[in-house]
Structure 1
Amino acid sequence: MRLLSSLALLIGLLLIGLNGNSQPWKSKLPAKKENNYTFFDYQNAFNEYWNGFNVQNGYYFDEKGNKRKAAGYKQFKRWEYMMQFKIDEQGNRIPAD
């Protein structure tokens, strides 16, 4: 029984790793090293991804007319609002004092 539960846990952990790309808009980031991205790189990639969806209040309508939740949209907008006060003119984060 212990072997079976350990095996189930291992399989579960492996399956969690398969669905690792939870932010599809990140594929729109410019081809740079990840640690060199600025706030504006993230903002432009996000806006480019969601531009064709006509998102309103975190929802959009698909091609069949069904209302769909724009996954991660509101969270990004909260982060975007918070970060605009913590960056310099080039989009780099201002170090905390």
Structure 2
Amino acid sequence: MFVSFIICERLFLFKPKFYIWRINMALQLGRCLLRYHRTKANMTQERLADRLQNELGLTVSSTMISQYENNHRPMSPLVMRGICIILGCSEADLYEWPH
């Protein structure tokens, strides 16, 4: 997992020339790679939605899958796990994780 570092302030210790930096880590979700894995599995959005419903009981519309693929909505952990089961990939494979 990669994190982005943002320098937010410096804190002085006993002598002004010695200081440490306080760093906030901002974890960001990158680009969704669902379309890549879905097309690699030779599956349409409609077929993926049908398999999620029929095999796992998850109601996800093809419109929602399109929203995931275009980064308009993040996937919930449950939907992400279901998609991984159907497509045979891991959760970490579904998003780019920026440095």
Give the TM-score category using the shorter length.
under 0.3
- Kindly indicate which of the two structures has a greater share of residues assigned to strand: 2
* TM-score with structure 1 setting the length: 0.27
Which of the pair has the greater relative contact order for Cα pairs under 8 Å at 6+ separation? 2
- Kindly indicate which of the two structures has a greater share of residues assigned to helix: 1
